[in-house]
Chains A and B, each alone.
Chain A
Amino acid sequence: MAYSTSSPAGQCVQNIINSLPSLMAVAVVDANSGMALASHSNSPSLNPETAAAYNTEVVKQKQKAMSALKLGNEKIDDILISLSNQIHLINLSDDGKKFIYLVVNSRDTNLAIARDVCRQESGLLN
């Protein structure tokens, strides 16, 4: 466990664990630096902080694509990534400075449930 429930990021991670006890990993990440403010993994081999660092670049790249498309009035709320057996979600806070990174097994949780849980908790990060 790499979080303290006394911080908003830690509380957010704890709430997500309570809602989705079978999750694989979760982290609250600083969108600028890619560093995790709080994280938790249900498997010792999974390091959500490493994956979060890579996913920060995914967010930045998508924002560049939006600039190229001249979608300046649009905002990315979340990015939903489906893999062969997993779902990865990136949910950005309203100010875009932090994001929740959640990994679940697609057998345990569907995309809509995982997205709804993240959306509810991202309000805590503002």
Chain B
Amino acid sequence: MTGASSDSSLPPKRPHAAHRLVPLPLASAATSQPEKVIQLIKAELPGLRVVAAIDVASGKCLASYCRPRAPAAEWVAEHHATTVRQQQLALQAWPGRPEQLTDMLIPMRRHLHLLRVARKGEWFVYLAVKADELSLALAREVLRMAMKRAGC
């Protein structure tokens, strides 16, 4: 019996929340922007819980960072991508000049969740911070500036 066959009997590993950056395996110019945004936000907000760049169409994480004991971004990426897609659908039903979704802010009692869509609307950044560590306006500004500096 080989080592590989004994490993296959183990249950699949759940994604765990550790310090990590998860780059997309493809090394193209399109992947560098999400990674850059994550790095910029992480440098600006050392106490953040979760930040992830998520592809709108597939709901897959392009890059992410989680604080220890925070939920892994991959778990909720698809839900947030559906939220953005749903909002984009709502905008299509809106008559007149087409409007572009810029950001969605979901403030809660203890946590602030922010979604900001990149210029072309193909991916977005999801940022979660604790409400007692950062104000909504400041979190929004940090996110806006990081995306601007990364050119998206």
Show the binding face of A for B, using Cβ within 8 Å. Answer: 43, 45-47, 50-51, 54-55, 57-58, 61-62, 64-65, 68-71, 73-86
A54 contact from B89, B96, B111, Cβ within 8 A = B89
B79 in complex: contacting residue of A50, A54, A64, A86, CB < 8 Å: A64
- A84:B100 contact, CB within 8 angstroms: yes
Q: For residue B131, give the distance in angstroms from its CB to the closest CB of chain A.
A: 10
Query: SS class of chain A's interface: helix, strand, loop or mixed?
Result: mixed
Beta-carbon nearest neighbor of B79 in chain A:
A65
Judging by beta carbons under 8 Å apart, are A74 and B110 in contact?
yes
Task: Name the B residues within 8 Å of A47 (CB-CB).
Answer: 95
Q: How many residues of B contact A (CB 8 A)?
A: 30
Contacts of B99 in A (CB 8 A): 83-86
Q: Please, which residues of chain A bring their CB within 8 A of the CB of B100?
A: 83-84
Query: Contacts of A86 on B, CB cut-off 8 Å?
Result: 99
Which residues of B lie under 8 Å from residue A74 when comparing CB positions?
108-111
**A68 vs B99: C-alpha distance in the bound complex, in angstroms?**
30
Whole-angstrom distance from the CB of A110 to the nearest CB of chain B?
11
**Nearest CB of B to A79, in Å:** 5
Give A51 Cβ to nearest chain B Cβ, in Å.
6
Q: Is B80 an interface residue (CB 8 A)?
A: yes
B86 contact from A54, A70, A71, Cβ within 8 A: A54
Cα A102 to Cα B101 with chains together (Å)? 16
Q: Is there contact, CB below 8 Å, between A85 and B97?
A: yes
Contacts of B96-120 to chain A: CB distance below 8 A = 96-97, 99-111
Q: Measured between alpha carbons, how far is A96 from B82 in the docked complex, in Å?
A: 21
